[in-house]
Amino acid sequence: MALVEYEVKGGYAIITINRPEALNALNSAVLDELNGVIDGIDLNSVRCVIVTGAGEKSFVAGADIGEMSNLTHAEGVAFGEKGNKVFRKLETLPVPVIAAINGFALGGGCELSMACDFRICADTAVFGQPEVGLGITPGFGGTQRLARLIGPGMAKQLIYTGRNIKADEAFRVGLVNQVVPLADLMATVEKLAGTIAGNAPIAVRACKKLINEGLEMDMDEAIMFEAKVFGEECIETNDQREGMSAFLEKRKEKNFTNS
């Protein structure tokens, strides 16, 4: 049985961490399979990706404590680097990635969700970075992405205490975009993915690049970067012509070809 399942549905794909007997905990084998799945995404046809966990209890409950408990210094560095490389590959994927969080998102699971573009969670979801209670730091980007998402003060409080928070508090502090009933989670996220997939792929990918890279620039540099991408990557494309023609002709149907 695959530890990471992959399904394409129309213009979007669903990646499912499939280790429910261990609450979808991340070990080296899961990370290797996830890396392979990401590498295998056909970016010519897939316009949005959803990441979720198997079952109803857990998105990803964390990294595998049993595997980590006997690591040497060198092995610890290697394990952290492996997770970070996979998560960074997901984060920099040209197409948008949505986390559909169906339960526990702790430690490495919270870190995985934060490597996605945004997060939609079930009302049963629980988030946290409990690593300090295990004598370690977050190792897959938690200290960096959490502070960037919710601000350093709140991130420090959650990380230093190791406290878990429920879905409503995660929404209040800005960790998730939306909270829905568990039964509605995948339908909600798939509708969002379908909406994204229905827009011009070149434009959507350019927007992701502009936001991610622009946030690392000062404003003067960032707005010039935006103007350059707007003009050089979007204007004179078939998708730009199609989108504007549809608007001017007042027709809802659009045929975006990613060209």
Active site residues: 111, 131
- In whole angstroms, what is the distance from residue 150 CA to residue 197 CA? 28
Q: What is the largest CA-CA distance in the chain?
A: 65
Map 65-122 to HEC letters.
HHHHCCCCHHHHHHHHHHHHHHHHHHHCCCCCEEEEECCEEECHHHHHHHCCCEEEEE
Ramachandran angles phi, psi of 35, nearest 5°: -60, -45
- In whole angstroms, what is the distance from residue 123 CA to residue 47 CA? 27
Three-state SS for 168? Answer: helix
Residue 182 carries which DSSP code? G
